[in-house]
């Protein structure tokens, strides 16, 4: 059964890959898990101009970000603000998650100007950036922004006017401005500062494809020349003519592959039963198919509705979670994107758990089946 499922998924994957060669919708860049499709497009011959909406052009480029050697990343250029790397795109909620290719987002936030860009911040906070003597901050609980600090000055950002007042003797104000943040930093009465280690989350309203995405469709321009947006729920309508050939090739691979795998799995099933009968002396162990009774995978909107978070430099996780992702067996690193299962609060690398949840609707650790709560 598992083999059959894997074959079908491989076939679907193959189909998608082949489709992407001649279609507006599917492109990816580097190791990123998200697909680039309308309203975004990858500039270059891969996706022609009509595949994307103005202002949503991405460039797939090689970067030496961090110590990852020469990885390919999708860059978004914001007018007046420069290039950002896209970590993730949520087409359903129309949100993008960005980071600075030079790993100092606070510096970019100081100069962020989103005018003439289709993007805006969902939630902003009024922050004051202070430059303080290092010894003032060294033994305090205030989080300093490392990449803005140097040997003669420690920089911190706070939304607390009380803190600004208290430090006004020894610290100077670099800037006071409204800054997009992932979530409310703190109550303004708190004496806290933020190291702003999260990603930049922006959202867009135009073009509005939320309804289309929720129905499982994909937006696109109605026609080569028209600037009207259409919702394509039937993928065939956005396929070019050359697609038909690919589709025939794909189907000629998919159908035999599926048929073949059904044959093989039923054969292996038969053999297994025979083996079970042969060794029937110990009747206690009932052969249990791993898929039997297991809930089916979740749909995309349910998966996307689960809480997502980006690890800060402290790598502190909420809930009952260790330092290693139980699915992909890789340690968590700062800025990793995690997704947490509601109810049990178990978190995993979102790339790993999304794939899992598409196949299997239970938490990989405790096998809890979170009640499917589709948005709205």
Ligand X SMILES: *[C@@H]1O[C@H](CO)[C@@H](O)[C@H](O)[C@H]1NC(C)=O
SS3 108: helix
Min dist CB 222 to ligand X, Å, is 6
How many angstroms separate the CA atoms of 85 and 197, rounded?
A: 15
Among 315, 108, 301, 336, smallest CA distance to 202 is for: 108
How many angstroms separate the CA atoms of 23 and 9, rounded?
A: 20
Q: Confirm if 365 and 344 have CB atoms less than 8 A apart.
A: yes
Min dist CB 352 to ligand X, Å, is 35
Q: How far is CA 166 from the centre of its chain?
A: 39
Min dist CB 176 to ligand X, Å, is 9
| Angle at alpha carbon of residue 183, lines to 119 and 32, rounded to 5° | 60
Strand partners, 232: 218
- Which is closer to ligand X, CB of 33 or CB of 186? 186
Q: How far is CA 68 from the centre of its chain?
A: 18
Pairing type for strands 57-63 and 41-42 reads parallel
How many angstroms separate the CA atoms of 375 and 30, rounded?
A: 30
134 sits in which H/E element = helix 134-138
Min dist CB 225 to ligand X, Å, is 7
HSE-up (13 A, CA, CB side) for residue 341: 26
Min dist CB 97 to ligand X, Å, is 21
Min dist CB 110 to ligand X, Å, is 11
- Looking up tokens 């600090």, which residue turns up? 149
Min dist CB 28 to ligand X, Å, is 29
Question: Given the rule CB under 6 A, which residues bind ligand X?
Answer: 80, 113, 115, 125-126, 131, 136, 148, 150-153, 155, 169-170, 178, 222-223
- Which is closer to ligand X, CB of 17 or CB of 113? 113
Q: What are phi and psi of 230, to 5 degrees?
A: -120, 155
Residue 209 has a CB neighbour count (10 Å cut-off) of: 21
Catalogue the E-assigned strands of the chain: 41-42, 57-63, 71-78, 82-90, 95-99, 119-121, 124-132, 154-158, 172-180, 200-204, 218-221, 229-232, 308-310, 337-340, 347-349
Min dist CB 159 to ligand X, Å, is 7
Min dist CB 101 to ligand X, Å, is 21
How many angstroms separate the CA atoms of 76 and 2, rounded?
A: 40
User: What interhelical angle do 2-20 and 241-278 show, nearest 10?
Assistant: 170
Min dist CB 152 to ligand X, Å, is 5
């Amino acid at each position: 059964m598992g083999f059959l499922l894997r074959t079908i998924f491989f076939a679907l994957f193959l189909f998608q890959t082949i489709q992407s060669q001649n279609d507006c919708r599917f492109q990816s860049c580097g190791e990123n898990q998200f697909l680039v499709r309308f309203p975004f497009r990858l500039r270059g011959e891969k996706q022609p101009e009509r595949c994307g909406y103005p202002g949503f052009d991405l460039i797939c480029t090689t970067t030496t970000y961090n110590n990852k050697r020469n990885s390919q990343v999708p860059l978004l250029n914001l007018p007046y603000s420069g290039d950002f790397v896209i970590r993730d795109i949520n087409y359903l909620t129309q949100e993008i998650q960005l980071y600075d290719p030079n790993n100092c987002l606070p510096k970019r936030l100081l100069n962020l100007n989103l005018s003439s860009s289709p993007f805006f911040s969902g939630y902003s906070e009024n922050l004051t950036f202070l430059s303080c003597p290092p010894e003032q901050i060294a033994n305090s609980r205030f989080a300093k922004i490392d990449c803005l600090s140097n040997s003669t000055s420690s920089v911190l950002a706070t939304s607390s006017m009380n803190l600004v007042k208290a430090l006004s003797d020894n610290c100077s104000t670099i800037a006071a401005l409204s800054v997009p943040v992932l979530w409310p930093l703190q109550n303004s009465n708190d004496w806290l500062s933020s190291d702003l280690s999260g990603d930049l989350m922006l959202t867009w309203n135009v073009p509005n494809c939320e309804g289309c995405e929720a129905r499982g469709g994909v937006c696109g321009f109605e026609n080569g020349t028209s600037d009207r947006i259409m919702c394509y729920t039937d993928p065939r309508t956005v396929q070019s003519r050359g697609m038909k050939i690919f589709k025939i090739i794909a189907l000629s691979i998919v159908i035999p592959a599926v048929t073949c795998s059904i044959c093989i799995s039923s054969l292996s099933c038969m053999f297994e039963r025979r083996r079970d009968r042969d060794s029937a002396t110990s009747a206690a162990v009932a052969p249990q198919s791993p898929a039997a009774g297991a809930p089916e995978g979740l749909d995309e909107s349910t998966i996307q509705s689960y809480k997502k978070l980006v690890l800060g430099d402290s790598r502190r996780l909420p809930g009952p979670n260790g330092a290693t992702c139980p699915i992909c067996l890789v340690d968590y690193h700062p800025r990793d994107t995690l997704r947490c299962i509601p109810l049990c609060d178990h978190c995993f690398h979102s790339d790993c758990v999304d794939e899992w949840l598409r196949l299997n609707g239970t938490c990989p650790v405790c096998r809890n089946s979170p009640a499917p709560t589709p948005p709205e």
